Structure 1
Amino acid sequence: MSVTPAAIRHAEDLADFVAASPSSFHAAAEVARRLQDAGFTGLEETDAWPAQPGGRFFIVRDGAAIAWIVPAAATATTAVHVLGAHNDSPGLKLKPKPTTGSRGWLQIGVEVYGGPLLNSWLDRELRLAGRLAMADGSVVLADSGPLLRLPQLAIHLDRQQNDGLSLDKQTGTQPVWGLGDPTQEDILAVMADSAGVDAADIRGFDLITADSARGVVFGKDDAFFASGRLDDLASVHAAVVALIDAADGFDGEHIAMLAAFDHEEIGSETRSGAAGPILSDVIARIRDGLGADAQDAHRAMAASWCLSSDVGHSVHPNFAGRHDPVVQPLLGSGPILKINANQRYATDAVGAAAWAGWCEAADVTSQEFVSNNDVPCGSTIGPITAGRLGIRTVDVGIPILSMHSARELAGVADLHALSRVAGTFFTS
């Protein structure tokens, strides 16, 4: 696929999106900001919601965000087209009593979140970001900016490092953030200052590391885009752009919806994760506003679709044997349809046919992805959503390299193509 000026603009906007989204909570807030600027109305879950058809709305629950457009002609049996993705990424999450250090160094205590490539976090300037829960019941976002570094041991002090570097998850992952006495310093004071609050009023925190370097387009013919948190902000961003584009003059025969969940990297079984009630809660409240009874709700769901969008593996030029010998999607050659015989991905034949139709309508070429039988297959929110809601689900995404690295690699053309297919999914 050729890299068009529109694709480069999309990638540069993604760089802005990732820079504004160092944590799942920041990502949900950035989704909300963009939607509000586009005329969407934010709803509180504790309030009564509009009971008439029509309108564009969104909610934020912790690190998750759900947005939807209800057509003016919607009825009790109107189907929903929901594109699901996730806001979280693997990283290092701050522990209780987090300020540590020795021998003149200030460090922080962290716990491994999800399944990061630990060595990819070495020798990078890192941000610490997330939310602070305050004594008055408020919650504020905090972002340190470049503050942390996980320094690698010099080759002179361990001549065997190039033979296979392995980091101990407890002793080898505690970043430095300054020089001084840890009994006299407090990382939470730094985070409080970044949020404009008093550290003495902090009662709880959810803070995680993120790469501080900005996403960049590079390579021959501007083919590549490197950034932190492409898994899965690439999908979230593509869907937000597509939903905003679809909103003006929307006349679809279904409800168009984006569901950006939290906690996918650790199993999704939380109140803001795909295995929790958030999506079913929102759909049920929309149905209630449309006057649906139980029969209507079941009829509507039977006609609905979920597009579960997450990244997959591009064939790696140095490790081709880790991939299926025949099905080898290539970065830059289009979005992928993800298939697994054991339903680790939710795609089936009917879903594959529907995906082919949406791609054709968007004038986008798609690729297939399947794992090598000797390499365990990961999973996504797709099977979770299909199992919880009984909704027909298709697993898709873009191919990348360096998945779960602190900085991942995508194709510029793929990023834009995914958003175009998302637009067709929302409107067709």
Structure 2
Amino acid sequence: MRDHRGVIQTIQWSVVGLYGFLLLVPALLPLPDDQAHILTNLTVLAEFIFWGLWWPFVLISMVLLGRVWCGVFCPEGTLTEAATHIGLGRPIPRWMRWPGWPFVAFLGTTLYGQMASVYQYPTGALVVLGGSTVAAVLVGLIYGKRGTRVWCRHLCPVNGVFSLLSKLSPLAFLTDRSAWERFNHEHRGSEVRHHAPHCPPLVPLKQMQSTSPCHMCARCSGYKEAIFLSTRMPGVEVIEESAQRATRWEFILLIHGLLGVAIGAFHWTVSPWFVALKQAVALWLVNHGWLWPLETTAPWWLLTNYPAHNDVFNLLDGAVLISYILTTSILLGSAISLALALGNACLGRWSWQRLWHLSHALIPVGGIGVFLGLSATTVTLLRGDGLQLYWINEFRALLLALAMFWSLRLAWRIAGEYTTHPGRRSGMLAGVGLALGLVGLAWWLMFVGW
């Protein structure tokens, strides 16, 4: 990869072209009718590619290959890096380095995407994905030196999710610190020591012991005879490196984001609780003579507004939708946090760092949950084309069960980093099992119970 930059750049700009075509052209076409199919309508095809294939399998690629998507294929990364070559090159401001941005960006994008029906309408996708792309280019034009990816490092809405999932990858570019020091000693005073490679996501190469921030672009491969692509046991970073590197904001993103906000966003479209809540609030408003929330709508780029398709959100719809997702995040996330806290307490004297570490055991089930939620669009579109997929619920259950087993195995190994006492480790495992049970119940409700 390092020695074939021309090929890599051809791939990158080809993806940018495909991305732009699928994002812009369907938004300019009339909305498809009920008879449109994947192979007969460009808009439906673009929907299938974006939400049925592209995003679900990008998530899978994080687990299998690390962040190769970010370094080689991501159109936003390519554009923001290109923009820095003609940009102002201003220093990265302190506010942009705030570690809470991955969660805030994920939350904001998810809520806005649901309000604009991003999965169903090309104009919604244009606003959400296109808006993110424009922001990436603007950040590249203003901040960072030539060839850097400030947007990707600090503000990308899925940066935090990708950082978590890539911890499970069996592939990683890691620095051998002893080889680094040995090289420095052998070449002390020589010119070669100062020829540092360019790292777009601004990773400090000497301290690169985690694959989370690395975009796998291979530009640093072989540097000082200390950085190489290596294989490792899947999830070993979660067991070992996360003991020191896990943070409170990663905990919040995983527990209240992937296992809270995301589940709420997938739930509301099929939830009878959402319908009951909206009806109860509507009845209360009518009884008190407050009809304006029921009668007031907003432009399509704020709230879904497609009267020709009998799909219009009023202010009540938007308010209840946001409330439902946030409530799901708070209640489910708090319940999972409590279960993890019980497991943490079983390992000995209370430690917040150990709680952050233990939460990383849930990364597999958090990742597979988002994959299942996104692939629901895949299933809906394929069924619309006549494929019944009678086996799909069993397949979903299998994937979820495998992810839960992996999470339990990681939790057991994490506990082993703190104690060898089988009773304490078993108590911790029970707490993690309770957390997994809550997640499993949430997905059972979506795919079976409701």
TM category (shorter chain) comes to under 0.3
* Greater RCO (CA < 8 Å, at least 6 residues apart): 1
The normalised TM-score by structure 1 is: 0.26
Larger helix share, 1 or 2? 2
Larger strand share, 1 or 2? 1
